[in-house]
Amino acid sequence: MTDAPERSPGSRTPPLPDEAAVIERAAAGDRTAFTQLMDHYQSACYGLAWRLLGDADQAADATQDAFLHAYRAMRSYRGGVFRSWLLRITANASYDILRRAQRRPASPLPDPEEGAPELPDPVAVNPVVEATKSELYRHLEAALQVLPPDQRTAVVLCDVYGMDYNEVAAMTASALGTVKSRIHRGRLRLRELLAEHRELFTG
Amino acid sequence: MLIPNHPDDERLAALASADADATADAELTSHVASCARCAETVTELGALRAALADLPDLRPHRPLRLLTDATDAADAPAPGGADRLARWVRRVFAPVVTAGAALAMVGLVGTTAPLLGAGAGGAAPAFQDAAQESAGGADAGGEGVAAPAASETDERNGEEGEVMNLNTFDDRQVEAGRDGDALTTLPAERSPWPMVLFSGVALVVFALLLRWIVVPRAG
């Protein structure tokens, strides 16, 4: 376990203002346009990889693998939300690394304490609300890392990144019922883990 | 302890996800509508989902390679292969070096232990004898080298030892050298330890070279 990631300013990355044009150029082989897209979405991809893998170096490797896959697949990109397309590629790259790590029992499991990201104080637009959110994010991230990998993967993909059950099932090569069960059990476990901080998310 | 009347927690979680089979379950929904405990569970699970959906993106802890390197690798004949090899080398490097060092250490101990033992028990007294006996006359250097042979020959030749020492020095030196070689090299040739030592060192050197060649330098 290495440095914990920092919260990216502005919560989730919004699309680029002229994203459709940039995507078109990137799909036509314009490297500068592709770099611009990857630069813009790197925090989104890295965040997903880190949450799935719980390790900063592995997350960086997975994100870079995803960029490579995206570059190769760019010409066959057929529209849709670009961020979701890129996140699916990142999830696959991360899941590959996770599967390899699970096949090697010697690889250390992430330490939930060290794995908790140190989120900087949010901007003081509304200090009380922002501070509460930051505290909630910190506890949520730490609790996610305590979940068994199967449950964590399902909860992260479905609840944090909004993928549907079928997508998660296809990505993890699992039955639909198994995925649902993992998500439900994962959420119940999270609720137990966060019992002492209930007020943070039920507010 | 689960109260039999309450639905299973996973069913409540399914309801919180608004899964079709759960929302269509009249028994489940009517129970939750009338049970404060279960209603609270569903509400909390719903709030938890909302909080998870609101988690922010995370900034990488170090700058990522965005395109130049990535696309160069992508355009290479074996795309991704170099990266995968580098990762594999990084992973096996430490265990291989440790194993090599351990092997070399065992080989070193195995190789030097018999020599040290022989040095303490056999060669040293012979050297001392020769040095003492030839100290009286022979001023020519080299008793040390000729020591094992000199001690025996001097005893046999008595007073003539000094002359013999001077006259036959070269021959005996060669002979003694041959004896010495035989003493030190014969056991070593038969022993597996030098090979173990060599293998260990070779393993370490090979791992270092491979890492140096394959793993890209930070920078």
User: What pLDDT sits at residue B4?
Assistant: 53
Distance CA A61, CA A97 (A): 9
* Partner-chain contact A31 B80, CB within 8 Å: no
Q: Are B98 and B167 in contact (CB under 8 A)?
A: no
The mean pLDDT value of chain A amounts to 82
Chain B interface test: which of A1, A3, A67 (most B C-beta within 10 Å): A67
Higher pLDDT, B122 or A29: A29
The mean pLDDT value of chain B amounts to 70
Chain A interface test: which of B19, B41, B54, B58 (most A C-beta within 10 Å): B58
pLDDT for A14-37, tens place per residue? 888 888 999 999 988 888 899 999
Q: How far does A11 lie from chain B, in Å, by closest CA?
A: 4
User: What pLDDT sits at residue A49?
Assistant: 94
Rounded to 5 degrees, what are φ and ψ at A81? Answer: -75, 120
User: What pLDDT sits at residue B78?
Assistant: 46
**A and B: number of Cβ contacts within 8 A:** 147
Distance CA A33, CA B42 (A): 45
Chain B interface test: which of A114, A135, A158, A201 (most B C-beta within 10 Å): A201
pLDDT for B12-65, tens place per residue? 888 888 888 888 888 889 999 989 999 999 999 999 999 999 898 888 877 777
- B65 touches A at CB < 8 Å: yes
**CA-nearest residue of chain B to A181?**
B10
- Is residue B111 predicted with pLDDT exceeding 90? no
pLDDT for B177-190, tens place per residue? 444 444 444 554 56
Q: Which two tokens stand for residue A22?
A: 């940039």
User: What pLDDT sits at residue B63?
Assistant: 78
User: What pLDDT sits at residue B73?
Assistant: 52
Task: Identify the top-confidence range among A37-51, B62-76, B144-158.
Answer: A37-51
Residue A158 DSSP code: I
B100's CB contacts (< 8 A; 6+ apart) are B199, B200, B201, B202, B203, B204, B206, B207
* Partner-chain contact B57 A59, CB within 8 Å: no
Q: Are B44 and A202 in contact (CB under 8 A)?
A: yes
* Partner-chain contact B60 A5, CB within 8 Å: yes
Q: Are A155 and A187 in contact (CB under 8 A)?
A: yes
Distance CA A61, CA B70 (A): 11
Distance CA A5, CA A7 (A): 7
- Is residue B71 predicted with pLDDT exceeding 70? no
Q: Which two tokens stand for residue A68?
A: 């490579």
Crossing angle of helices A19-27/A31-53, nearest 10°? Answer: 100
* Partner-chain contact A201 B53, CB within 8 Å: no
Q: Are B36 and B6 in contact (CB under 8 A)?
A: no
Q: How far does A113 lie from chain B, in Å, by closest CA?
A: 17
**Segment A59-62 long-range contacts (CB within 8 Å, at least 24 positions apart):** A59/A5, A59/A94, A59/B60, A60/B60, A60/B61, A60/B62, A60/B64, A61/A97, A61/B87, A62/A90, A62/A93, A62/A94, A62/A96, A62/A97
Distance CA B101, CA B94 (A): 10
Higher pLDDT, B191 or A94: A94
A119's CB contacts (< 8 A; 6+ apart) are A6, A7, A134, A137, A138
Higher pLDDT, B24 or B142: B24
Q: Nearest by CB to A190, which of B48, B59, B61?
A: B48
Q: Which two tokens stand for residue A186?
A: 């994962």
Distance CA B47, CA A201 (A): 6
Distance CA B131, CA A182 (A): 85
* Partner-chain contact B10 A184, CB within 8 Å: yes
Residues of chain A with pLDDT under 50: 1-4, 9-10, 107-126
User: What pLDDT sits at residue B136?
Assistant: 43
Residue B144 CB neighbour total at 10 angstroms? 12
- B8 touches A at CB < 8 Å: no
Q: Are B56 and A11 in contact (CB under 8 A)?
A: yes
